[in-house]
Chain A
Amino acid sequence: MHLMPAAMARGLAGTAIGLALLSGAASAQDRNATPVENEIADFTLDNGLEVVVIPDRRAPVVTHMLWFKVGSADEEPGKSGIAHFLEHLMFKGTDKYPQGEFSTRIAEVGGRENAFTSYDYTAYFQQIAPEHLETMMEFEADRMTGLVLTDAVVDPEREVVIEERNSRIETQPNSILSESVNATLYQNHGYGVPIIGWMHEIEKLNRADALEFYQRYYAPNNAVLVVAGDVDVEEVRELATEHYGAIPANPELGARARTEEPPQRTARTVTYRDERVTVPGYSKSWVVPSYSTAEDGEAEVLDLLSEILGGGIRSRLYQSLVVEQGIASSAGSYFRGTSLDATVFGVYGAPRGEATLEDVEAAADAEIRKIAEEGVTAEELEAAKNRYLRSIIFARDDQSGMANMYGAALTTGSTVADVEAWPERIRAVEADAIKAAAARYLDQNRSVTGYLLPQEEGRS
């Protein structure tokens, strides 16, 4: 685990804004109205495929993303990791385009591609010059239903995923801890299972598991196509209809059924000791509503609470623990609002100098209590809102960021209208609501605290 130098820690803290922004930001600006040709379009094909087009004609680049409304939290018990394993296997070819042909074609035209899996979604994307958009659609539509898998390609790829788990989790003390914190925080829901899967279950995943998952979930009526960049809405509509429109919907596809969490009633602690750790750290996590599950406006309140409490160097945690008291090397908070089911609010910190981890945790708890009891000032609420609102303008500079924002929102229960109304809803949040949310949700007696500690003396 690395404690990053200050400048980097700040950089990271800064991304918390981006995170919240992604919870649903919009392009609509009253300060600078979006020109008509840059307006975001949203429509649905007859087979149920939703299409979002985000024009940005500044550079001859297009981002083409296909998002499926399925992620690791949709896996059957015992099959953890299958959503992510299938994502890897999606690069193994079809009858029409054998293994490697899609990637070769992308590379030939100077394109960039990748794919990613989360709890609630799996997405595939390419960035290419506009004239290659149609080719990308042709290939992507083909592999939505045409995937061909043999043991000869599945078996080595399972080894790749095992190496990936080794890289991401097994060799990283903080990942080992956070995996366990999640498993403790969620008592019954799939968010408690790691996206990449547990090692002993990854080892048993096979071709049949992958195909079953694929046939069940990969269908146009379970997907969102996002096209951003140097494109024209009508052109995208025509191309999407031509290439994706003919794929039949899956009539068997039901509503997304997730196991529900029981109430959180206990305070739990998870401790991991590792000989690599020299500076301890801690986190405290709560299950809270997401943009999808929250009562009206409550997720926006949690975003602003997170920003005021621990979003970057102007936040209370940073100013109090790092700057004024001088007891922490880092301190902050985050809220993962873009989530289909109840999500996580977290606070973290690490000590510096003579201070102990207990000092840091106690001081952070005190800051939380202070907001729950005394609320926030009008000035800091205004500053936090302004940071979000300007981040929306900056976000428009990045077409792939915009595509990601819409894709993540639309696969976790939000709509384009929700995203576009987000700035207004942020503006509408009142100070009292922040105080109430802190009191209601950040209750020490219903939290999970994770400790990352050095190996005890005398042991190794």
Chain B
Amino acid sequence: MRQTWTFVIFGAFSILLLTGSALSAETFAQRIDALLFAKAPSQADDAEFLRRVWLDFDGGIPTADEARAFLADKTADKRTKLIDKLIAAPRFAVRMADAFHVMLMERRGDNETWKAWLVESFKTNKPWDAMVREMLAPDFLDEKQRGAGYFITRRLEKVGQQDTDYPGLTRDVGRMFMGIDLQCCQCHRHLSVSDYKQIDFSGLYAVFQNLKLQPADDKHKTPWLSEGLIAAKYEFVSVLTDKKAQTAPRIPFGEEVMIPASTGDEAWLVKPDRKTKEVGQPKFSPLREIAQRVPAPKNALFAKNIANRVWFLLTGKGIVEPLDLHHTENPPTHPALLELLGKELTEHRFDLRWLIREIAFTQTYQRAGAHQRHLTAEQQLRSFLIATGERERLEKNSKPDVNVDAIKYSLADFEKAFAAALANPAKEPVLAANPSLRSALFFRNSDHVQWALKPRTGNLIDRLAKQSDPAEDLYLTVLARLPDTEEKAQLKSWIAAHADDKSKALGDFAWALLSSTEFFVNH
């Protein structure tokens, strides 16, 4: 209850602040820029901005029509309008869900309920602290929340003969929600990071090792978690010093949670019962305690971590890198910026959409030649299908038939093939999507790529073949920009040299564009 009031007060306070900054006529975006640049950096031209913003907020490239309309638009505020249009579109929630799925689950596999929860959360602009509370201690009986439980339940699944990976889960909670990798502190103090102590790992571990993964049943539609009774502090020993210590449940660098003294029947809300297979529910839930304390304004690393991760998502560079190694000896590249982002995000009640929109308005985000990033597997697939004009056909096709060209593949087939060729391996933090031999062979030789470049009613090659001068359409479609004279001439002479089969010539030219570095990176 007290927490809720704090938020209301915070909320009111931030409105005051906002009004204040509006009066001083300096927007939040301008404050960010002022911290990074003494002089405004030169700005990206419209085409460069267009492709970047579409890839970031829609997850794919714009169509040729959308690109043409934007480039022709002469109004002064067209960038602001585009940003707002893309953020308001349904695709925004899906793109964010994709990005956060990869970030949070690191390619551990897909799950419908989880994905639906992510999409719904971004659609309703659920504050980040609320999302994290649901991920850490979901109510598995609440249809709207149970998808969030996948963050924990997936990590507690048994793999072969291996022990349940409680240490891995503990580590990931620290990495994802506080930006600290406590892995080394499982057995001793961190050897190279003096901020990280064994108690920081152990205080979280005490909570997570107390969980038990339960299978879905009549009451629970998904696998769920039960908690055991914690009546004493968790004991741990350093393998370096053999020194024993103990801790109650505790978030890293925080205070210990008081363990209630009640014992026996008194300690249980629902008593375990072997006969009815009731696993029981203790009154004291360390998981719920932690789920209140991690995503809280008081925990400064919580805000800094997500601010840094959002900044990374939009600019390709973390203010702190690695993203999960915030500590005093690894300072941010721009300390004042991280401080500002964390503070303002907290005051805006962890409103991610607000932060994303503000960053998009900065001159830093819109500058020319910003840090180039390779597209993720999801961005590549969507962009490839928009460019080749095969997206709708695949979306409609639920029953692929290898013998019929038009329905040879479904969208799921393409999703699988692109992920296999382009996605990072499971459990690797996705810091950068790097080109690999596997992806090069896929573009060069796979049937999927080849199929999409054959002329077929309504697709790119079919459309281009009907035009006498297809250069503009081709470049707008694949690269969201107009070709220059040299490029136009190059296409013309290519078609002339392969005049016997125009569709084939166009397919090959489109292939070269789609396999080029310019297509693989954002602008």
**A and B from one assembly?**
no
